Amino acid sequence: MTKSHENYRELVMRIAKTDFKLRYHGSALGYVWVILKPLLMFTILNFVFSSIFNYRNSGTPYYPLELLTGLLLFQFFSEATMTGLTSLVAKAQLVTKIYVPRWTLVLGSTMNAMFIFGMNLIVLAIFFAIYHKVPSLLGICLFVIYSLLLYILALAFSFLTAPLYVRFRDLSTIWEVLLSGIMYASPIIYPITIMPLKVRTILMLDPVAFIINYSKQGLINGEFADGLHFVALFLGIILAVALAFLVFRKYEKTVAELI
Amino acid sequence: MIKTVGQNLPIAICVKNVSKQFIIPHERVSTLKGTFVNIFRKNTYEKFYALKDVSFEVKKGEFFGILGRNGSGKSTLLKILASVYTANKGSVEIDGLVSPFLELGIGFNPELSGRDNIYLNATVLGLCEKEIDAKFDSIVAFSELERFIDQKIKNYSSGMQVRLAFSVAIHANREILLMDEVLAVGDSNFQSKCLREFARYKEMGKTVILVTHDIGTVQRYCDRAMLLRNGEVVKIGTAEEVGNEYIYQNMSDEEKRIVDEQKSVDKKTIHTAGESNMPEEGKINKVAEITGVEFLDKDGKVKNVFETGEDIVARIHYNARKRIEKPVFGVAIYTQDGVHLSGPNTRDSGFVIDSIDGTGYIDFCIGRNRFFTGRILFTVAIYDRECITPFDFKDKAYNFNVISKEKNQNGSVKLDISWKKK
């Protein structure tokens, strides 16, 4: 077949940059929304749930920090999967009118979520400073690793679903609903400790909930997942990546005809 | 296999037995529920072959045209060459990077400014940021969109979009250009600019593949061409041959019959020409004879197809066996239905020919022809000075075709018209 593109890195970055530019274009506040949106969400949730859980008495003295950390991670995942899922359809003009290796479109689209997450981490750092909380080095390292794993998971999901979304447009609606399910099934607005042990075990089978729980626990309370569970998570994600790779390779060929 | 003898250029594109099939479900399922419901029902669909067993080769530095009517598979083929589609069968080998220009655009994002779209698309075509920075002014200059470059693409007219897209596509500097109907939108000024650019590409040894249904462009600029019909290759050959074949294919059956008759008449004339000493019907005294008519464009190139508005020169070759004083040449122009459109002669036009002797030719020039799409039949005669007795009279023996791009008038002749209402 045709000799393909020779400059993938530049291409992916250009797609990501373009998306970033388009993300808030036409809005008065523009990029300020990158930081403002999670902050507003945080303020509302914090107001509502702080009054429900009396966190100072329920063993979560840093509830606002836990909430913000969990929220940022979840929004990162949600944004990455949503844009990844719709990436091929949203960039139909780059699929049907020109040849670009399709994986660059999926990858480039999801990277936007990474930019936004990166900027939000600055806000998170400021909050940690306000609450006079210094996380341990191990906690920070694990947080970075968990964030990367979460991104890889989102990528696997995107590669799996992007070519399928071309065929079944209901996937985006289904995923939107599922995302809100995932949000409430993850310990974001509530501390995991309020759940009975049995439920906790079941919840931790969800990799997103697992990652969110242990990355914020590691940062704030110095609690870590045991090694076996971590390895299981790691293998699970690798499996997801392999599956996504196979599905993507099979279905990407006919994408241009079906869009 | 198409191999021109004596032309051992390396092959740029080699397409072998390519077939492309589209499956068109009778009721398109694009929801999950639909799929579940349909698992138990037999799915009815049609298989549609957009391309059937297409094979051809294009050499490096060649300007190759792909002709065909709407739905003949031209664009599908181009998309396969650009790897947007994957062929079901067969192989495509391309030596070199391809710069495609499909469906009047190269993937612009309407929400982005012209500037951002240039950067996006040039990157897609493999340029790095530094190269784009360096070429940016030249890209903008070629598209003539300096004033609009920071506006969003959605505010551009289709012509402006095409200009910008084309400009980016040619600046990508790739070895092979795939062009789909690029000339259909831009104004004539831009079209000629495009064609000049193509010529420059050719000089640089690059390959251009042009998909169009405009025969004029193909015959003027392509070295070779291919005619597709219903997904199959009808003919591969020189642009002239393929263009003529295309015109023939596009005629209605009635028109074909006339042309076929014409051909057999032509053969007969050639036949009788062999025994030219035979007196014909007594009336015609073959002291002088018309030996042939060629049709030329303004550059002096022999053509058989002209566009409305082009200059046409009919070169009438004669052979006078003895000296004839003050002969009169006359022509009569007919449509293919035999309607007499015009009948000028040299005497009425005030063009005096002192004498003719031996062989020679007379040029009959039509400036900016006003014929409409169709075949024009041409009668030529040589008379004596009184314009009564013809030495030779070739009735509707010659013809050429006219193609009109404008569709706003019907009939045989294009007039300068306007409408008014009181």
Task: Domain count for chain A, please give it.
Answer: 1
What gap in Å lies between CA A63 and CA A50, rounded to an integer?
8
| Per-residue pLDDT tens digits for B189-236 | 887 788 788 878 878 888 989 888 777 778 777 889 999 988 999 999
Q: Is the pLDDT confidence value at B299 over 90?
A: no
Q: By the 8 A CB rule, do A110 and A139 touch?
A: no
Q: What is the pLDDT of residues B360-395, one digit of tens each?
A: 899 999 888 888 777 888 889 888 887 777 788 888
Partner residue opposite B128 with nearest CB, options A3, A10, A26: A10
Rounded mean pLDDT, B227-247:
86
Planar angle of CA B203, B204, B206, nearest 5 degrees: 100
Mean pLDDT of chain A: 90
Each residue's pLDDT tens digit, A65-76: 999 999 999 999
Q: Is A90 in the B-facing interface, judged by CB distances under 8 Å?
A: no
Strand segments, DSSP code E, in B148-250 are: 176-180, 207-212, 224-229, 232-238
CB B192 within 8 Å of CB B383: no
Is there a domain that residue A1 lies in? no
Q: Residue B407's pLDDT band (boundaries 50, 70, 90)?
A: low
Beta strands B374-383 and B328-335 are antiparallel
Q: What integer best gives the mean pLDDT of chain B?
A: 80
- Alpha helix positions (H), B295-404: none
In the structure, what pLDDT confidence band is assigned to residue A2 with cuts at 50, 70 and 90?
very low
| CA dihedral for B173, A259, B64, B142, sign (positive or negative) | negative
Chain B residues within 8 A of A168 when measuring between CB atoms: 30-32, 35
Model confidence at B26, pLDDT cuts 50, 70, 90, reads low
Does residue A3 fall inside a structural domain? no
Task: Encode pLDDT of B50-104 as tens digits.
Answer: 999 999 999 988 889 998 888 888 889 999 998 889 899 999 999 888 888 777 6
Query: Considering only the top CATH level, what class is B255-403?
Result: mainly beta
User: What distance in Å separates residue B99's CA from the closest CA in chain A?
Assistant: 8
Question: What pLDDT score was predicted for residue A123?
Answer: 92
- List all residues of chain B from 102 to 121 with a beta carbon under 8 Å from chain A: 102-103, 105-109, 111-112, 116, 119-121
Q: Domain for residue A2, yes or no?
A: no
- Computed on alpha carbons and rounded to an integer, the radius of gyration of chain B in Å comes to 27
Residue B239 pLDDT greater than 70, yes or no: yes
ipTM given for this complex: 0.84
pLDDT score for A247:
95
Rounded CA-CA distance B125/B118 in Å is: 10
Residue range B11-96+175-250 in CATH 3.40.50.300: yes
Pick from B97, B106, B120: CB nearest A3:
B97
* Residue A233 in this model has a pLDDT that exceeds 60: yes
CB B233 within 8 A of CB B17: no
- Contact check, Cβ <8 Å, A93/B107: yes
Here the tokens at position B176 are: 């092979």
Tens-place pLDDT, residues A198-224 = 999 999 999 999 999 999 999 998 888
Residue A35 has phi, psi (to 5 degrees) of: -95, -35
- Count CB atoms within 10 A of the CB of residue B19: 15
- Comparing alpha-carbon positions, the chain B residue that sits nearest to A4 is B97
pLDDT tens figures, B153-202:
989 888 888 888 888 888 888 888 888 876 677 677 887 788 788 878 87
Q: Does the beta-carbon distance from A10 to B84 stay under 8 Å?
A: no
Per-residue pLDDT, averaged over A21-45, amounts to: 88
Q: What is the pLDDT of residues A188-201, one digit of tens each?
A: 988 888 889 999 99
A178: contact with B, CB 8 A cutoff: no
- B248/A contact by beta carbon, under 8 A: no
Over range B138-142, report the average pLDDT.
92
Query: Which residue from B minimizes the CA distance to A26?
Result: B111
Q: Is residue A211 exposed (0-12), middle (13-18) or buried (19+ Cβ within 10 Å)?
A: buried
pLDDT in tens, B308-326: 888 899 999 998 888 888 8
Please tell me if residue B126 touches chain A, with a CB cutoff of 8 Å: yes
The residue extents of the domains of chain B are 11-96+175-250, 255-403
